[in-house]
């Protein structure tokens, strides 16, 4: 069977009932009625691992005692038979992260051990280790039993990870079981780290070890499943048929909430593997300690709207059976699911049309700056992300480790410009790829420490990218408070729309003093930290020519380098001048905007394409209902004008949410324009090119 004929390559919608062992006697037909009512066509339910919901013959499985309430004694058999009779697929949820005490006592080597020799025991269950035989061997026996007994349509692995944290958030550190000690020593020739310490090279290697171990295990699981039934999908974060993401909330999550997490994951995954479906499981409750308090409809709606706009397959997740939550909790799920179902042809074989790529660097977070490196990299990319969304710039996220691969197959050529938000760690090969990209006509915007560190995280003597306007960093100020009360003086008003010469831009956190390359054009002059109290002394004596923005031409392309954390500052402070400097720089090096609109900043616009038939798809998402941690219905927005310069002739345009055709026109410059009369939570405008 060809890959394209497998069910997961068509749009689908899932409802997960994460069952408690006491739910084994549930009414299958009643649950299926609910699943179909909300527009889902796939049911995910617990099958094996911590508790099995079928009469397993394996000695190391624990069937639910409540299976005795079923005449058949077999929930999975009943569910699969009834669901398939209705055309509903069934996915099996398995969880091998924990075992009961009897198995742990018989097989202590299956279990997690802390650096101090403690076991990780939670509610009577012992955490297992992916390096140990339960994961490495027994999991395959369990999967084999299920596949040989039931024609399930897929598997989802819960908590497929090294359990450093438990459900209460306690960090137990890296596992020190005998298997981890032996395998880590064979791989790196050193003892395991005792705690999460970013300054310890062994801890960074431990993170590599966990990824390699899980990736190898996932590959073997995938081979087992495919060997028994190639039409059974594996949903996982490592080597899957369907990539998994959970959209969730938490009562202790710090403010401000990162509301764009779902879209961020989808932009990344769909760029890294455009032919691999992504499944987003949106949590319908507020947090694990409060599993029976429903999530706010406005928050859940944003999860779902981002999912479908970025080409993901939506899922909604609750604990227990659907009657555990109020009926109104499913209103937004039903709305989005049914829209996705009824318009499935517009979600099939869709790809991003973004002309900007944002490079994301996991390696920089792990290998640069110690514990603060993760925050500095995350803050920078989040600020850039927000700035682009609010400025209506369509973009993808490109993982840094794919850069060399992308260069070989010319994937980078689809982007008119790349943004490197503090991509501090770059290998020589990656730097060469990026320089060649610019040399042959690409645009590039880089911020802060980009290219200042080698592949191992060691400081470079100069900046790795020859295409940037700075050759080397001659000094840095980044200690806490070191740049407090500093400014950047506007020297060229064209580099900050709406500014006049001499205006000031807030500068804080850090600044890199750099040596410009020949022919570099410098903009914004540094005003070093000045007195800010008492008022009688609030003036400065020194202004410098140290630049806040460096323009440089390299071959046929152009770069903009911002030697300070503009993204991190925008993420924290939301100053519009930071956003405008960044986006203006991107416009300049990329040759202009892919689209223009009068939509307010809280409207996200995503542009995608289909080849057969040829269409441009424009999703709009309205975030106006968010007020910090509170989410209400979004404010309706009227008469949004959108202008698309690079779009071909349009034969028809339609708003699918409004169910109405839209008039289009062309500007004197040849851009296609349309006006959307009304936007609530989301809409999809389809431009057919005939």
Strands (E) located in 181-331 = 233-236, 242-247, 278-283, 285-287, 290-294, 313-319
Residues 35 and 318 sit within 8 Å (Cβ to Cβ): no
Helices (H) and strands (E) in the chain, counts: 16, 36
- The whole-angstrom separation of Cα 174 and Cα 612 is 49
Q: Cα dihedral sign for 468, 469, 471, 477?
A: negative
Find the mean pLDDT for residues 296-323.
98
pLDDT score of 5: 65
Q: Which helix (H) or strand (E) holds 504?
A: strand 504-507
Residues 296 and 634 sit within 8 Å (Cβ to Cβ): no
Residue 500: is it exposed, middle or buried by C-beta count within 10 angstroms (0-12/13-18/19+)?
exposed
- The pLDDT tens digits for 580-612 are 999 999 999 999 999 999 999 999 999 999 998
Asked if 647 and 551 sit in the same domain, the reply is: no
Bridge partners, 596 (sequence order): 643
- Residue 366 resides in a domain: yes
User: Please, which pLDDT band fits residue 309 given cuts at 50, 70 and 90?
Assistant: very high
Asked if 397 and 470 sit in the same domain, the reply is: yes
This prediction has a pTM of 0.95
- The pLDDT tens digits for 547-579 are 999 999 999 999 999 999 999 999 999 999 999
- Domain end (from 300, 317, 348): 348
- Domain end (from 348, 369, 400): 348
Taking Cα atoms as reference points, which of 313, 103, 110, 142 lies closest to residue 221? 142
- Residue 101 resides in a domain: no
Joined tokens for residue 73: 């004694």
| Sheet strands side by side (includes 125-127) | 98-100, 125-127, 121-122
Angle between helices 75-85 and 139-149 (to 10 degrees): 50
pLDDT score of 648: 82
Bridge partners, 672 (sequence order): 644, 666
Asked if 454 and 495 sit in the same domain, the reply is: yes
How many other C-beta atoms lie within 10 A of the C-beta of residue 171?
10
Asked if 287 and 418 sit in the same domain, the reply is: no
User: Please, which pLDDT band fits residue 369 given cuts at 50, 70 and 90?
Assistant: confident
- Residue 80 resides in a domain: yes
For residue 409, is pLDDT > 80?
A: no
| 3-class secondary-structure state, position 359 | strand
Taking Cα atoms as reference points, which of 286, 280, 285, 300 lies closest to residue 253? 286
Residues 49 and 96 sit within 8 Å (Cβ to Cβ): yes
Asked if 294 and 399 sit in the same domain, the reply is: no
Residues 537 and 512 sit within 8 Å (Cβ to Cβ): no
- The pLDDT tens digits for 50-96 are 999 999 999 999 999 999 999 999 999 999 999 999 999 999 999 99
- Residue 402 resides in a domain: yes
Asked if 625 and 648 sit in the same domain, the reply is: yes
Give buried/exposed letters for 428-445 (b at 16+ CB in 10 A, else e).
eebbbbbbbbbeeebbbb
Strands 486-489 and 504-507: antiparallel
Find the mean pLDDT for residues 177-184.
97
- The whole-angstrom separation of Cα 682 and Cα 671 is 24
Residues 209 and 184 sit within 8 Å (Cβ to Cβ): yes
User: Please, which pLDDT band fits residue 640 given cuts at 50, 70 and 90?
Assistant: very high
Asked if 469 and 344 sit in the same domain, the reply is: no
Residues 456 and 367 sit within 8 Å (Cβ to Cβ): yes
| 3-class secondary-structure state, position 453 | strand
Residue 518: is it exposed, middle or buried by C-beta count within 10 angstroms (0-12/13-18/19+)?
exposed
Taking Cα atoms as reference points, which of 629, 635, 670, 664 lies closest to residue 650? 664
In which domain, by residue range, is 498 found? Answer: 356-590
Q: How far is CA 618 from each of CA 91, 243, 257, rounded to the nearest angstrom?
A: 32, 24, 26
Bridge partners, 572 (sequence order): none
- The whole-angstrom separation of Cα 205 and Cα 192 is 9
- Domain end (from 562, 590, 618): 590
pLDDT score of 237: 81
Asked if 344 and 392 sit in the same domain, the reply is: no
- The whole-angstrom separation of Cα 439 and Cα 420 is 16
- The whole-angstrom separation of Cα 9 and Cα 122 is 38
pLDDT score of 299: 98
- Residue 134 resides in a domain: no
- Residue 211 resides in a domain: no
Asked if 453 and 577 sit in the same domain, the reply is: yes
User: Please, which pLDDT band fits residue 255 given cuts at 50, 70 and 90?
Assistant: confident
- Residue 199 resides in a domain: no
- The pLDDT tens digits for 451-483 are 999 999 999 999 999 999 999 999 999 999 999
Joined tokens for residue 337: 């699911």
Angle between helices 297-309 and 331-342 (to 10 degrees): 20
Per the structure, the count of domains in the chain is 3
Taking Cα atoms as reference points, which of 605, 621, 611 lies closest to residue 351? 611
- Residue 442 resides in a domain: yes
Asked if 363 and 464 sit in the same domain, the reply is: yes
Asked if 582 and 467 sit in the same domain, the reply is: yes
pLDDT score of 136: 96
More confident call, 662 vs 372: 662
Joined tokens for residue 115: 């650096």
Spatial neighbors of 230 by CB under 8 A, at least 6 apart, are: 1, 6
CATH number of the domain within which 631 lies = 2.60.40.1180
Asked if 448 and 579 sit in the same domain, the reply is: yes
- The pLDDT tens digits for 274-289 are 999 999 999 999 999 9
| 3-class secondary-structure state, position 186 | helix
For residue 387, is pLDDT > 80?
A: yes
pLDDT score of 542: 95
- The whole-angstrom separation of Cα 445 and Cα 329 is 43
């Amino acid at each position: 069977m060809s890959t394209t004929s497998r069910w997961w390559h068509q749009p689908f919608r899932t409802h997960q009932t994460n069952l408690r062992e006491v739910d084994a006697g549930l009414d299958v037909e009643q649950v299926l009625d609910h699943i179909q009512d909300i527009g889902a066509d796939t049911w995910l339910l617990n099958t094996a691992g911590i508790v099995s919901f079928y009469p397993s013959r394996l000695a190391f499985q624990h069937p639910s005692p409540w299976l005795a309430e079923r005449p058949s004694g077999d929930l999975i058999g009943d569910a699969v038979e009834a669901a398939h009779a209705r055309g509903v697929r069934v996915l099996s949820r398995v969880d091998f992260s924990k075992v009961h005490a009897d198995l742990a006592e018989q097989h202590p080597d299956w279990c997690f051990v802390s650096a101090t020799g403690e076991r990780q025991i939670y509610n009577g269950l012992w955490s297992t280790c992916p390096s140990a035989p339960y994961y490495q061997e027994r999991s395959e026996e369990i999967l084999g039993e299920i596949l040989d007994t039931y024609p399930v349509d897929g598997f989802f692995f819960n908590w497929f990870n090294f359990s450093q944290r438990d459900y209460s958030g306690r960090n137990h550190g890296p596992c020190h079981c005998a298997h981890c000690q032996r395998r880590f020593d064979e791989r790196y020739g050193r003892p395991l780290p005792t705690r999460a310490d970013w300054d310890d090279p062994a801890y960074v290697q431990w993170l590599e070890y966990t990824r390699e171990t899980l990736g190898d295990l996932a590959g073997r699981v995938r081979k087992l499943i495919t060997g028994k039934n190639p039409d059974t999908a594996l949903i996982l974060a490592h080597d899957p048929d369907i990539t998994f993401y959970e959209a969730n909330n938490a009562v202790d999550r710090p403010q401000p909430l990162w509301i764009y997490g779902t879209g961020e994951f989808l932009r990344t995954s769909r760029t890294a593997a455009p032919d691999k479906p992504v499944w987003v499981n949106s949590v319908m409750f507020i947090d694990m300690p409060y599993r029976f308090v429903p999530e706010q409809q406005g928050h859940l709606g944003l999860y779902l709207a981002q999912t479908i706009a970025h080409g993901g397959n939506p899922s909604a997740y609750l604990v227990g059976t659907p009657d555990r939550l109020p009926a109104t909790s499913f209103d937004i799920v039903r709305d989005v699911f049914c829209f996705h179902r009824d318009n499935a042809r517009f979600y099939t074989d869709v790809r991003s049309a973004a002309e900007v790529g944002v490079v994301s660097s996991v390696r920089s977070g792990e290998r640069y700056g110690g514990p603060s490196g993760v925050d500095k990299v995350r803050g920078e990319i989040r600020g850039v992300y927000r700035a682009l969304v609010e400025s209506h710039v369509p973009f993808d996220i490109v993982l840094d480790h794919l850069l060399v691969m992308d260069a070989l197959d010319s994937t980078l050529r689809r982007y008119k410009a790349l943004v490197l938000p503090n991509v501090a760690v770059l290998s020589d090969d990656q730097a060469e790829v990026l320089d060649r990209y610019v040399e042959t006509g690409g645009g590039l915007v880089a911020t802060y420490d980009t290219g200042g560190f080698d592949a191992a995280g060691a400081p470079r003597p100069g900046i790795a990218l020859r295409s940037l306007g700075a050759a080397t960093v001659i000094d840095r100020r980044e200690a806490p408070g070191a740049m407090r009360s500093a400014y950047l003086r506007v020297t060229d008003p064209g580099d900050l729309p709406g500014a006049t010469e001499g205006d000031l831009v807030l500068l804080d956190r850090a600044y890199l003093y750099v040596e410009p390359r020949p022919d570099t054009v410098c903009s914004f002059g540094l005003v070093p930290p000045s007195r800010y109290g008492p008022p009688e002394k609030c003036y400065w004596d020194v202004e410098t020519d140290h630049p806040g923005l460096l323009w440089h031409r390299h071959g046929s392309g152009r770069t903009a380098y911002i030697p300070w954390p503009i993204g991190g500052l925008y993420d924290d402070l939301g100053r519009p001048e930071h956003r405008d400097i960044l986006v203006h720089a991107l416009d300049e090096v990329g040759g202009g905007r892919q689209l223009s609109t009068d939509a307010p900043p809280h409207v996200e616009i995503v542009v995608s394409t289909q080849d057969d038939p040829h269409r441009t798809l424009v999703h709009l998402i309205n975030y106006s209902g968010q007020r910090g941690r509170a989410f209400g219905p979004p404010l309706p927005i009227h008469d949004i004008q959108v202008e698309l310069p690079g779009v071909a002739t349009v034969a028809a345009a339609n708003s699918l949410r409004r169910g109405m055709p839209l008039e289009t026109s062309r500007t004197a410059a040849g851009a296609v324009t349309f006006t959307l009369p009304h936007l609530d939570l989301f809409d999809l405008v389809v431009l057919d090119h005939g």
